[in-house]
Structure 1
Amino acid sequence: MIKKNIFFVAMALLGLAGCQTHSTDKDSFIMITKSLGTKQCSEVNAEGQLQQLKAELEQANIKVLAAEIGRDQMMHITLCGAADGKMAIFKVKHNTLNAVEKMGYQLKRADE
């Protein structure tokens, strides 16, 4: 009886594992990034740059579900005029990947 129960539990778990596939349908989402191009000691507002990039995506009929400022996780020399590593991060639908890549965006890496 116990062996029979273990068998059914194992089969149920294997059946569920088969359902765990990576979805690339039109309703799945991706995170994309693009450098804000901001510099150290600059008066350029990173939030303003983020909103400008978001507006450009929306003008291209790409719905932005979330937007935030992140960092590229690289070391940058501390020097006025040098890059500060700030980047725009957007959540968009997976089916827009080709369009956003043509606009200069990249898929967000797991370590960013």
Structure 2
Amino acid sequence: MNVVLWVLAFALAAVFAASGIMKLTVPREKLIERTPYAADLPHSVVLAIGVVEVLGAAGLLLPGLLGIAPVLVPLAAAGLAITMALAFLTHIRRGDQLAQTLPAIVLLVLSTLLAWGRFGPYPL
């Protein structure tokens, strides 16, 4: 199970890093084309979400790989799960269809699974 959690951590880190970097580097107009919910939020909030995602991605891997404060791994996973719960609520509030909401649901479930595994039976 430890290997599964590591693979999950790397996969989630890749997704969150890519998403966060996109939010930080793509101009607002193009970002709104790709992710329409960005139009509902101030650009500073979108940038803050990008920072949270990039830092969360780093938190999923670096503490465990370096052996420095490994408790940060499940905390990062829990923080990203909270972020995805808020993303899910944003999509629901907007009246988005399942296709737009599903990525947030999947990332919420996977982040929660990683947090549970690392807090519980399979700590680093």
Which interval holds the TM-score relative to the shorter structure?
under 0.3
**Which structure has the larger Rg?**
1
Larger helix fraction of residues: 2
Larger strand fraction of residues: 1
Q: Which has the higher contact order (CA 8 A, sep 6+)?
A: 1
TM-score (norm 1): 0.28
